[in-house]
Amino acid sequence: MEEQKKREKSTNEESAKGGPGKDSPVVESKLEDGAGTGKPKIGDSRPAPNADKPDSHTRKKRKRRRSKASNSSRGNPENISLELDDETLKKRRGRERKGKAVGRYTMVVHVEDKVTQIAMLEGRSLIEFYVSRPSDDISEIHGNIYMGRVENVLPGMEAAFVDIGTPKNAVLYQSDLIKNASSKSNEIVRIEDVLKNKDSTLCQVTKNPIAHKGARLTQEISLAGRFVVLVPNSETFGISKRLPEKERKRLRQILEKAKPAEHGVIVRTAAQHITKEEIEQDVTRLVHQWKEIVKQSSKADTPKLLYREPEMPFRMIREEFNKEYRSVVIDDFDLFEEVKSYLATVAPALADRIEYHDNSSDELDLFERFYVDEQLAKALDSKVWLPSGGSLIIEHTEALTVIDVNTGKNVGTSSLEETVYRNNLEAAKEVAHQLRLRDIGGIIVIDFVDMEKAQHRNEVMKTFREELARDKTRTQVFGISELGLVEMTRKRIGEGLTQTFTKAQE
């Protein structure tokens, strides 16, 4: 009897060691298969694949380029995933009503003829639209890292043209040079002293090529993860200002221990309520990516692509998707399976918000179901109607974009000043929406209807700035001038909705 009890006791101890407790986070090491082609996770796209080794597992239906990991990545920190306890998962699932997810936003992904179109909806209103083509290393290269070759240095323009393998040479401005740690902060570094013709330089694309202009580059490289951004060889230390002060203090304590000594780290808004282990894992994964990039750059012939950003759907999920999203609806089954697998790894609490729309069995196409086509058609028109009968006229020129606000059919009820004020309030909200939807960048001039009262002018500008604050693209707004005009700038990243939509139809 005593021997039997001892055996049972030893068996229980072994099983206890083998299975960790329910409430404790578990770290599992998931190794890649023998071919070294394990799936990358959101925010950890691998260094660019070698052109000599095409992927034999490419699907026939959608030949989308997949990045291969080198054999040395087996067992590396990138492949470690965290399992969260039930209580943590419940907190991150967001709100539900009658068993269905509740959220402010919806992401709709339509795939047709190898072109992926992504519509972002707030309620039923279309707020952003993107188009992505597979294997596009010419026009969609934002975030890619290259070993480029300097073709021409122009001291008078404080810029250098760099060959990165695209049809047009990219431009690297003097302000985008990496500053030497030994140089003084106020010391001006001349570009001709740093770069010479035929030099090799490690650089990252910050702006896609637009029309006749080549891509814009920077030597200040950054690698974006799900929760943090790694800034190699930098002392950067930052936390998103959109987070509450209490949460910022908590993350600051975590970051002080997780930050590598030789690199800078910026914590993203998505890190709210994220555990210490998840942030440390994200940092470790990005550091490993950077080491792989440096390793490739040391033996690369210029020009060469060293790192490619994930494809648009995965990039959007990494950047945007959170519990405020009701769902992500996809009408391509292969992409649906991949996205669901990705989310199960990086955001398991939200994995059940991925939905598949079968066009063959549903009466309506995906974009028709969510009224995307109808809203896109209106967004391509130069005239936009306001709820009370007023209108906007949006005109693009080579130098800037002009928006004219009219009262139109809005005749009001009490006084002219009140009518104009209410019309301008509606216009302020709609202008901010149209700038985001149409992806208008550069210099923008808005001609609001003249208002006599300073209080009304201030209220319109306050409303306009509040609406612009919801746009993740950086903007700079000046007050109403003596001529009644509002001047502003919005960072130009893409070509705009008109060009994007036109390409999608080609």
Q: Cβ distance 207 to 492 under 8 Å?
A: yes
Q: Cβ distance 283 to 78 under 8 Å?
A: no
Beta carbons within 8 Å of 44's beta carbon, 6+ residues apart = 78, 225, 285, 286, 289
242 and 183 fall within a common domain: no
Q: Cβ distance 302 to 263 under 8 Å?
A: no
Amino acid type, 300: A
Task: Record the pTM.
Answer: 0.73
* 66-91 residue pLDDT tens: 443 333 333 444 444 555 555 555 55
184 and 290 fall within a common domain: no
* 410-431 residue pLDDT tens: 887 888 999 999 999 999 999 9
Residue 234 in any domain: the answer is yes
> What angle, 0 to 180 degrees and rounded to 10, lies between the N-to-C axes of helices 245-258 and 276-297?
50
Question: According to DSSP H, which parts of 84-162 are helical?
Answer: 86-92
Q: What residue has token string 């809005």?
A: 410
385 and 489 fall within a common domain: yes
User: What pLDDT sits at residue 121?
Assistant: 94
- pLDDT (average), residues 187-216: 89
Q: Compute the Cα dihedral for 294, 299, 305, 308 and give only its sign.
A: negative
Tokens of 257: 């221990």
DSSP letter assigned to residue 23: T
Beta carbons within 8 Å of 308's beta carbon, 6+ residues apart = 45, 47, 48, 65, 67, 137, 144
Residue 346 has pLDDT above 90, yes or no: no
List residues bridging with 216 in a β-sheet: 171, 207
394 and 303 fall within a common domain: no
Residue 463 in any domain: the answer is yes
Q: Cβ distance 354 to 328 under 8 Å?
A: yes
Q: Identify which of 3-7, 39-43, 216-220 has the greatest average pLDDT.
A: 216-220
95 and 151 fall within a common domain: no
* 24-49 residue pLDDT tens: 333 333 333 333 444 444 444 444 54
Taking alpha carbons only, the member of 211, 217, 224, 222 closest to residue 495 is 211
Residue 78 in any domain: the answer is no
Residue 117 in any domain: the answer is yes
487 and 446 fall within a common domain: yes
430 and 478 fall within a common domain: yes
Q: Give the C-alpha separation, 102 to 326, whole Å.
A: 5
Residue 206 has pLDDT above 70, yes or no: yes
Q: Which helix (H) or strand (E) holds 239?
A: strand 237-239
Q: Give the C-alpha separation, 428 to 437, whole Å.
A: 14
Question: According to DSSP H, which parts of 389-447 are helical?
Answer: 416-437
User: What pLDDT sits at residue 85?
Assistant: 54
How many domains does the structure of the chain reveal?
A: 4
Last residue in a domain, options 218, 236, 265:
218
Torsion of CA 89, 93, 96, 101, to 10 degrees: -140
User: What pLDDT sits at residue 493?
Assistant: 75
- pLDDT (average), residues 6-21: 47
Domain of 472 in residue numbering reads as 381-503
Percent of the chain with pLDDT over 70: 77
Residue 50 in any domain: the answer is no
E strand residue ranges, 10-124: 26-29, 80-83, 96-97, 100-101, 105-112, 115-122
317 and 303 fall within a common domain: no
User: What pLDDT sits at residue 449?
Assistant: 93
Compute CA distances 26 → 11, 40, 90, 93, 278, whole Å: 22, 20, 17, 19, 11
Residue 58 in any domain: the answer is no
Asked if the bond preceding 313 is cis, omega within 30° of 0, the reply is no
List residues bridging with 28 in a β-sheet: 81
271 and 302 fall within a common domain: yes
User: What pLDDT sits at residue 102?
Assistant: 64
Mean pLDDT, the chain, integer: 80
